[in-house]
Amino acid sequence: MKLTLTTLTVLTTVIFFGCSSNKKADITEWKFTENIDKSKIEKLDVENGKLFTLFTGATTGVNFNNEIKETFDLNYYRYGYSYNGSGVGVGDVNNDGLPDLYFTGNVVPDRLYINKGNLQFEDVTEKCGINQKPGWSSGVTFADVNEDGWEDIYVCRMRYEDPERRKNLLYINNGDGTFTEKAKEFGIDNDTYSVHANFFDSDNDGDLDLYVVTHPTDFKDKNKQKNYQKIEEGTNSSNKFYRNEGNGKFTECHKEVGINNHGFGLSVTTGDINNDGWQDIFVGNDYIMHDYTYINQGDGTFKESSKELLTKTSYYGMGTELADYNNDGWLDMMTVDMDIEGNYGSKTFMQSNKQTFLRTLVNAGYLQQYGRNALQLNNGMGKFSEVANMAGVSTTGWSWSPLFVDFDNDGFKDLYVTNGFLKDSHMDVMEVYIKLTRANRLSDSTEYYDLRKSLPENSVLEWPDAMFKNNGDLTFDDVREEWGLYLPAMSYGAAYSDLDLDGDVDIIVANANFPALIARNNSDKLVNNKYLRVKLNGEKGNPDGLGSKIYVTTADQTQYIQMETVKGYMSCSEPVAHFGLGGNEKADKVVVRWYDGKENVFTDVAANQVMVVNYSEAVKSSESAVLAGNLYFKNVTAEMGVDYKHKENEFDDFDREFLIPHELSNMGPGIAVGDANGDGLEDFFVGGAKDAAGVIYLQTTTGTFKKSDSYTAAGEDRISEDMGALFFDADSDGDKDLYIVSGGSDFPKDDAHLQDRLYTNNG
């Protein structure tokens, strides 16, 4: 077989149609709320006949408002996270079977509300001993830290320069309706600007260890490529890891376990990402540092593996979530960002990172990052695909807390995202912010006050929280209006729980400068779908069974939830796994897999109940992990003799055409399949980038492949960039010829290297 280049003459005519407008937007009159339809805004504390009804303290007794008033010292310009809001936690602190609520306050005190039933709550903060020391509370986590059967409360703190005001608090539940603060006694009174914390069993020893996500204070370097340099120099400010010693004490050992980082962390979630039986850690990072994916090595250490697992992350990573949203038995990952909805808002809100900046990021060891939500679909082979745009969930405003829950009990996890911010941040305002920050750093009070006067008053970013219905086909539909959640607000932390024990999941939202809300779920009255809720009774060191895997199989699918409570942003949800069953009257099979491999297996489980599963009744399983190895494909590239590796040439399309939506020069090689040598076996051609030759692989009788020397794109041919390719009999002589499309945007118009090529097969 020999291929010969045949010259082609092809005339291609391309006509571009354009439009222009002389209308200029008046940015001085523009508001982020430009697209909000006031006629659609939900009324509070009023039955609306929709899936959710929004209630304030007027109905529920939850009268919490995280009110933040700017002062000369309290503002974004003096502390970059002044407007980052607060969280809410759910836990049954009095063991009466009703989920209680804890709200963290930034300037205002934290509050604890006891659930009295029927969505009625009582503020018991003072009488239960939550005597908050002066400080700025951020995230909250419920866990039985001292292993006495009562939920304790761990509160993170940040902002103040005085380390005493930054020390995290541990409220130990005394079991009599009171709490005692004992963070120092347990060794977890961390004072390094803590945002949130996650208790989980990292080493499968039956007790709970602790990860604390923190942020550094070098805001001036937040977008500079200095993270790795500071780690090497030892000047970094790392997240913290506390190992539970099993004797009522924790030991801080982040370096020992492989967690030594420097990022503006805003959230942390845990789960078994690679289905190997060990819990991993996913951290959302703000600014230049990409999100961290710490894979548990099973020997007490972790390896940061984002660059091996992911292709890209969000740039301004906020809240994170781990959940199997497509019911394939693998945990997917989500980080939310700050991409504003609407054409005008998205273009004036924030300056996009230039391609040259992104390229220098990658060259400096960072992942590619983009200012929008990132939904990482777990492919089950050590790789994730970022599919937020495809799924329809990439843009949800200045977002904070993503939560995957089956709100309508149809068997698919829906997505709820809080959003909002205390300051308008379109580009004109951002320029003033930058100058204000500089004036603050230089202690130039005159310039500082002059600049403050130039900012618009009461300019905030309020937007209805996003709610997406899972369609079951990897896509989502926006249903915030249809489901009764169309209410502009500045929402931050959020948690979910069946507060009224009616079999559907309610939402609790921590707002800023607006009352906290409870969104009551009305599925039990409006939707004829069934449910199954699973609650675990674990061992003494982990009574809620955190990290355990629960599989529920019905006639049409298997759902999977790993028991975790810390999700979203600064918040924790109920320790109950909620499964919607659709129209199924029963679950055919329920499997609970504990940390040590023991299992509880149940069949023909009736719907519409809370199922309590005890570790004491679990037995050792002889089977491999459920769903964890049932892959349809195996990577046999090397075994087949294929060693081709595509190498893309560097070219910045945006330097030439700034307004194009994406690059056109790095679209990868084309592939053509056909019997190139007439032996009855399929061969294939892989194209090359600019200045690189493509390759033909011929199949052997053993099923392996070898490179063919009959095709060598040398000289001028090699310069062209191969795009699409096709094997076909162009000259009707009975053998396959090869047609290659030349493309890319590296070349100027009418360049000879854009000429397509036809290689005729000479047999």
* Whole-angstrom distance, CA of residue 553 vs CA of residue 142: 30
Q: Which residues of the chain have pLDDT under 70?
A: 1-35, 344-354, 424-433, 437, 440-445, 448-449, 451-459, 622-632, 712-716
- 568 located within any domain: no
On whether residue 567 sits in a domain, the answer given is no
Residue 11 located in a structural domain: yes
Is 36 part of any domain? no
Say yes or no: 143 and 204 in one domain: yes
Q: Are residues 84 and 190 in the same domain?
A: yes
Same structural domain for residues 554 and 511? no
Based on the fold, state whether residues 479 and 587 are members of the same structural domain.
no
What is the tens place of the pLDDT at every residue in 546-592? 999 999 999 999 999 999 999 999 999 999 999 999 999 999 999 99
**Alpha helices for 552-708 (secondary structure H):** 653-656
Say yes or no: 488 and 347 in one domain. yes
How does strand 530-537 pair with strand 610-614? parallel
- Give the pLDDT score at 27: 29
In this prediction, residue 34 carries a pLDDT of 52
Which amino acid, residue 219? F
What Å distances lie between residue 461 and 34, 68, 271, 473, 509, CA to CA? 11, 14, 33, 32, 17
pLDDT (0 to 100) of residue 458: 56
What residue has token string 């397509």? 756
Per DSSP (E only), the strands in 631-742 are: 671-674, 683-686, 695-699, 705-707, 722-728, 737-742
Closest-CA residue to 373 (of 333, 428, 420, 430) = 333
In a domain, 43, yes or no: no
Mind giving me the DSSP string for 313-330? EESS---EEEE-TTSSSS
Kindly state whether residue 141 falls inside one of the protein's structural domains: yes
User: Domain tally for the chain?
Assistant: 4
Amino acid residing at 689: A
pLDDT of residue 20: 36
HSE of 578 in the Cβ direction (CA atoms, 13 Å)? 26
Pair (492, 445) in one structural domain: no
pTM of the model: 0.85
Same domain (yes/no): 735, 598: no
Same domain flag for 550 and 680: no
Instruction: Tokens 């804890």: give the residue.
Output: 102
Contact in structure between 697 and 675 (CB atoms under 8 Å): no
Q: Can you give the CATH number for the domain in which 101 is found?
A: 2.130.10.10
User: How far is it, in rounded angstroms, from Cα 70 to Cα 370?
Assistant: 31
**What is the β-pairing status of strands 577-582 and 598-606?**
unpaired
Specify the 3-state DSSP secondary structure of 294.
Answer: strand
336 plus 417 within the same structural domain: yes
Q: Which domain holds residue 609?
A: 526-560+579-620
Domain assignment present for residue 100? The answer is: yes
Is the C-alpha dihedral spanning 533, 537, 538, 544 positive or negative? positive
Domain identity same for 395 and 437 = no
Do 183 and 292 fall within a single domain? yes
Shared domain for 100 and 3, answered yes or no, is no
Q: Which two tokens stand for residue 525?
A: 């009255």
Asked if residue 23 belongs to a domain, the reply is no
Side by side, which strands form the sheet with 111-117?
88-91, 100-103, 111-117, 120-123
Amino acid at 248: G
